[in-house]
Amino acid sequence: MDITMPKWGMTMQEGVLLQWLVAVGDHVTEGQAVATVETEKVDAEIEAPASGLVAELLVDAGESVDVGTAIARLS
Amino acid sequence: MTTQPVQVENQTGPDAAKTAMLRTMIRIRRFEEKLAWLFKRGQLPGFVHLYLGEEAVAVGVCAALRPDDRITSTHRGHGHLIAKGASIDKMMAELYGRVDGYCRGKGGSMHIVSFELGIMGTNGIVGGGIPIGTGSAWGDKQLGRDSVTVVFFGDGASNQGVFFESMNLAAIWNLPVVFVCENNGYTEWTPTHELTAGRIVDRGTPMGIPGEQVDGNDVEAMRDATARAVARARAGGGPTLIEARTYRWHGHNEGEEAFAGDYRPQSEQDEWRGRDPIAAYGRTLVEEGVLSQADWDAIDAEESAGVEAAVEFAAASPFPDPEEALQDLFAATPKGSMR
Amino acid sequence: MNATIERPTYFINAMKEGLHAAMAEDERVVVIGEDVDRSVIGATRGLSADFGRDRVRNTPISEATFVGACVGAAAVGLRPVVDLMVGSFFYVAMDQLADQAAKLRYMSGGQVDLPIVYFAATGPSGSGAAQHSENLHPMLMNVAGLKIVMPSTPYDAKGLMLSAIRDPNPVVYLQDFVLGGTKGNVPEAPYAIPLGVGDIKKHGTDVTVVAIGATVPKALKVARALEKDGISVEVLDPRTLVPLDKGLILESVGRTGRLVVVDSARLTCSAASEITAMVVENGFDTLKAAPQRVAWEDVPVPFSPPLEKRVLVQEPDILNAILKTLS
């Protein structure tokens, strides 16, 4: 399952991934914060949509990605 | 050029004020009658909505106002303008579409304004002035002034959403505004009771806005009710709703005979004409000894002459240069700093 | 243009800086609107902390009344700035905007100045659906009496906000939703960009693309891609639609001989239509090819992503229009 960049407001088209809070191989539980993201309004945390193993991080810290883009893969 | 407010000899204080109210009502009456006459003879461009029969409302309300208080008005606004001190020369010139009119001919009957006199707008949209007057009250309050705005509107406008919205805004922001509904019984050509649920005066009650129903043909009752509301507003007590019960002697607009038919019972019209606010007040002042019948007649003659002079003034004023149509859309941006 | 300044700032915050500067320089400037203290879009967030709740006022959801109240307030000396939140909400207040605010000065023969700014986030934001995706600038251009500002960069957003507030007339300031979260360099000190002055965002020699609001970055992207094919595209942002910098547009088309106008609005009677007509009337001799308009399909903006995409302007639409003028 992919973790995607959420859309937190009508103006939000992209977000800057500030920091990964998990690494490949970590086990995460549903709702756990996995990354912090900067938008024009707030800095906020992205939560894991399900429990699982972090298989891949698709975006580097500091990178800006569009809303809806997959940023990590859970297995 | 302008009609001088004539004093009855030796009058001061309350007597002078009463005489002035009678005079202003007569001025409105003669002005409106003249417009009806002119309209019928094709002398006026466009169309007019006359205030005949409702004179006591405007005059009573404006008698309770200071020069720095403000009003917003309606499509039936000539009476409000005259009562707030507008020159009938400049009004007539505007109605003729001439360059010496208040708006240099750009406004016409429904858009005569004079910001100098605190007349923030008449309006061609029923209810359109209600938010504007609510806003001028907000502006004055925000800028630390103690001016009060009176918002005139009709019974028809009491069914517009902005009436309820504006009462709500005035209540929550505690604005110095007096909502004056002139209920003349007809929403255009339909009896208002067929279109309007409940009593208009009660419409502010759920918002905590005090309401007062007043005999709109009694100029002193109108003045006193307004004075109470204005004093409350000036003291920071917030808005008031006044419903003035009155009657429109003429139609919704002049010339309506062509299509409107006979929609008002003659008996009703006769009854209200029997309650002519000017005749009643004149009699009262004569009985009170404020003035004599001769004084009254003299005032009437002066005002009639003033209206004739206004027509002459208007007719002598040139039309604006057609190129003026392209002016006044935007104010020029000041160079350099913002003010 | 301030290329040396390295101060990346979100569009929304650039607007706020303009607002802040205007409030600081003139205490008659007040900001009102629904939830302006919290500010769902963001341009007014935090202003109440600096200027107080008296000058940053939450209104009830009564657009017609607070849009109209600003007319009365401005006429007596206030300088109201209104956050309408979402472009479509102007429709709720249309009488007060189009019949009162826009006309009172003119009808009165120029007796009164009405310094008011009405701003809102407008245009499609990504599945905002029909009632939260409107762009009203074409309709409002036709009203007469409203100035219309539509910035495309954070730098312009700040400078135009200050000018809009300083202007003695009603100004409608439309902030495209999708630009709100974009970043650009913005100087910290206040500065004003005059209304009615367009800006060439990219110089070119083969074709002029006039782009409006959110279509500017799209046009720039297409222009840069075409550069590799040896096609030199000039991208011109009018920045304000009323007044419109006709001179700059005609001058640009005079050089390139080709015109594409891209608008984030429905095609019929769009700003693209007006600008195209203006160029055809005034610069026909300079045209080497028929001008092209790129705008939305004439339907409401649908919700579902593929439907929305079908209706709105996409980069290939701009590309194809450019190529058509060159074929």
Dig out the tokens for B165 from the structure: 């919205």
Check residue B339 and give its pLDDT: 36
Domains of chain C plus CATH, in order, are 8-185 (3.40.50.970), 199-326 (3.40.50.920)
Residues whose CB is less than 8 angstroms from the CB of residue B259 and which lie 6 or more positions away in sequence, other chains included: none
Q: Could you tell me which chain A residue has the CA closest to the CA of C126?
A: A10
Block residue for tokens 């208002």: B192
Q: Does C88 touch chain A (CB under 8 A)?
A: no
Task: List chains touching A (3+ CB pairs under 8 A).
Answer: C
C126: chain A residues, CB-CB within 8 Å? 7, 10, 13, 67
Check residue A40 and give its pLDDT: 82
CATH number at residue A50: 2.40.50.100
Residue B322 within a domain = no
Q: What is the mean pLDDT of chain B?
A: 94
Q: How many helices (H) and strands (E) does chain C have?
A: 13, 14
Q: Is the pLDDT of residue B336 over 90?
A: no
Block residue for tokens 């003033």: B306
Q: What digits encode the pLDDT tens for the residues B251-276?
A: 999 989 888 888 999 999 999 999 99
Check residue B257 and give its pLDDT: 84
Domain that residue B205 falls in: 13-248+264-313
Looking at the structure of chain B, the number of domains it has is: 1
Domain that residue A10 falls in: 2-74
Q: Does A9 touch chain C (CB under 8 A)?
A: yes
Pick the range with the lowest mean pLDDT from A39-48, B210-219, C20-29.
Answer: A39-48
CATH number at residue B128: 3.40.50.970
Catalytic site positions of C: 132
Considering only CA atoms, which of C205, C222, C280 is closest in space to residue C250?
A: C280
Residue B321 within a domain = no
Q: Is the pLDDT of residue B3 over 50?
A: no
DSSP, collapsed to helix, strand or coil, labels residue B298 as helix
* Cβ within 8 Å, pair A40-C40: no
Q: Is the pLDDT of residue B227 over 50?
A: yes
Check residue B8 and give its pLDDT: 67
Check residue B337 and give its pLDDT: 43
Check residue A43 and give its pLDDT: 86
Task: List chains touching C (3+ CB pairs under 8 A).
Answer: A, B
Q: What digits encode the pLDDT tens for the residues C93-133?
A: 999 999 999 999 999 999 999 999 999 999 999 999 999 99
Looking at residue B39, what DSSP letter applies? H
pLDDT band at A12 (very low <50, low <70, confident <90, very high): confident
B145: chain C residues, CB-CB within 8 Å? 76
CB B108 within 8 A of CB B94: yes
β-strand partners of C58: C33
Q: What digits encode the pLDDT tens for the residues B295-316?
A: 999 999 999 999 999 999 999 9
Residue B318 within a domain = no
Q: Does A44 touch chain C (CB under 8 A)?
A: no
**Checking DSSP bridges between strand B186-187 and strand B190-191, what pairing results, if any?**
antiparallel
Touching B: C residues 12-71, CB under 8 Å: 25-26, 28, 30, 54, 57, 59-60, 62, 64-71
What are the φ and ψ backbone dihedral angles of C246, each rounded to 5 degrees?
-60, -35
Which has more confidence, C208 or A8? C208
Looking at the structure of chain A, the number of domains it has is: 1
Check residue A41 and give its pLDDT: 78
Q: What digits encode the pLDDT tens for the residues C19-73?
A: 999 999 999 999 999 999 988 888 999 999 999 999 999 999 999 999 999 999 9
Q: Is the pLDDT of residue B11 over 90?
A: no
Q: Does C77 touch chain B (CB under 8 A)?
A: yes
Q: Could you tell me which chain C residue has the CA closest to the CA of A14?
A: C181
* Cβ within 8 Å, pair B169-C105: no
User: What long-range pairs does C48-54 form, CB within 8 A, spacing at least 24?
Assistant: C50/C20, C50/C23, C51/C23, C54/B142, C54/C30
Q: What is the pLDDT averaged over residues C86-94?
A: 96
Q: Is the pLDDT of residue B156 over 60?
A: yes
Q: Does C119 touch chain A (CB under 8 A)?
A: no
